[in-house]
Amino acid sequence: MSVNFSGRDFAADDFVDSVYETISLSDVSASQVHLEITERLLMGQPDNAKETLSMCQKAGMSISIDDFGTGYSSLSYLHYFPIDTLKIDRSFVKDMLANNGSAALVKAIIGLGKSLNMDIIAEGVESQEEAVALRDLGCDKAQGYYFAKPMPEKEIVDFIIKNRKIEF
């Protein structure tokens, strides 16, 4: 289960305790929780962010940088934070078939993430051509309208049962 947090939530002194409490009250183990954090949140107070993410990771949660490439971070920070996954922002994916520069950036992001032992997820995939190109570049996973549009919670189980064969 992936969870995005606001800057206010993430900066709260009791953030880690709140996450632990929520997990303990649910039927979810920490290893099933994937925290998605934007570059902007990481860079606000990098030392505090690192400490917070390290505590969450030690508890078994995994950590993603969401919307990678749209923030203000320095690439040197990628190895500083305990990050498991890079999520490539849709703005790069949508232009990569028509723009060699965007394609080169996507390829570089994938290569950089792989060299740091991170999983790579492309966001906003809307066509088979984009999915194939990303897979050919070594992207691990993808999400977007090509696979499924957002849906109400009640429809998710039926969707998964009917579409077990969706592959990237």
CATH code, domain with 10: 3.20.20.450
Cα distance between residue 17 and residue 52, in whole Å:
10
Question: Is residue 168 domain-resident?
Answer: no
The pLDDT tens digits for 81-112 are 999 999 999 999 999 999 999 999 999 999 99
The pLDDT tens digits for 54-84 are 999 999 999 999 888 777 666 778 888 999 9
Which residues pair with residue 9 across a beta bridge? none
- Residues of the domain holding 66: 2-162
Question: Is residue 14 domain-resident?
Answer: yes
Question: Is residue 167 domain-resident?
Answer: no
Domain count, the chain: 1
Burial of 50 (C-beta count, 10 Å sphere; 0-12/13-18/19+): middle
Q: In this structure, what DSSP letter does residue 98 have?
A: T
Taking alpha carbons only, the member of 84, 37, 88 closest to residue 62 is 84
Between vectors from CA 69 to CA 65 and to CA 74, what angle results, nearest 5°?
Answer: 85
Question: Is residue 8 domain-resident?
Answer: yes
Question: Is residue 99 domain-resident?
Answer: yes
